[in-house]
Amino acid sequence: MNRAWIVPCIFWLALAACSRVTDHVLLLPGPDGRVGALSVTAASGEILLAEPYSGVDVRGGTPSRLTSSPRMVRESYGRLLDMQPARPRIYVIHFETGTSALTPESRSKLPIIRDELATLPAAEAIVIGHTDRVGSSAFNDRLSLRRAEAGREQLIGAGVAPDAISVVGRGEREPVVFTEDGVAEPRNRRVEIKLR
């Protein structure tokens, strides 16, 4: 092995061993400007992030709070942000109680969804069925899948290619409005159609 190559490698390995690992966490807002909350826990403490552009650096197991701004994030991470895939476009359609029949308002959304899907390269639609909390969990699982499949059929009828559509049923697990068991809530009887 060439000795001239070994010496620089040892220098870089020693330099890497001396440097400390740093974790950097930054809470960014979603497209609507809202943020959730995130707890960053390290060996010597915990910091809760709940404000847009708040952050934490963790060095040697010690977390320290930091603040940022949209401009600072753009300057530091602009290339990474630009490489993110586009966020899915989400449409919601609603159903009549206990059925997989669309409400009239929801039927009118289908041509809009079809036209938007046609503008996307390698387009895909994920159709996710949901229910309210009327009926058993097993019944609602089946109903949510029937609703997702009905949404798929409606999209196919509107001209969307069948192989671009996948379906899933989530039952009563992900309500928009939290209710007690047995409560009929129209906003929970829905299908979300995610276009990407």
Same domain (yes/no): 180, 123: yes
In the listed set 61, 82, 103, which residue is the last one of a domain according to the structure?
A: 82
CA–CA distance, 69 with 158 (Å, rounded to integer): 44
Same domain (yes/no): 65, 98: no
Residue 8 placed within a domain: no
The model's pLDDT over 80-130, given as tens digits with 9 standing for 90+, comes to 888 887 778 899 988 777 777 788 888 888 888 888 888 887 788 999 999
The number of beta carbons lying within 10 Å of the beta carbon of residue 93 is 24
In the listed set 82, 103, 134, which residue is the last one of a domain according to the structure?
A: 82
Asked whether the beta carbons of 187 and 177 are under 8 A apart, the reply is yes
Query: What is the CATH classification number for the domain harbouring 107?
Result: 3.30.1330.60
Same domain (yes/no): 147, 94: yes
Residue 11 placed within a domain: no
Domain span holding position 191: 89-195
Same domain (yes/no): 129, 156: yes
Same domain (yes/no): 102, 140: yes
The model's pLDDT over 119-160, given as tens digits with 9 standing for 90+, comes to 887 788 999 999 999 999 999 999 999 999 988 998 888 788
Residue 180 placed within a domain: yes
CA–CA distance, 145 with 39 (Å, rounded to integer): 35
Asked whether the beta carbons of 67 and 53 are under 8 A apart, the reply is yes
Structurally, the chain folds into a number of domains equal to 2
Asked whether the beta carbons of 109 and 192 are under 8 A apart, the reply is no
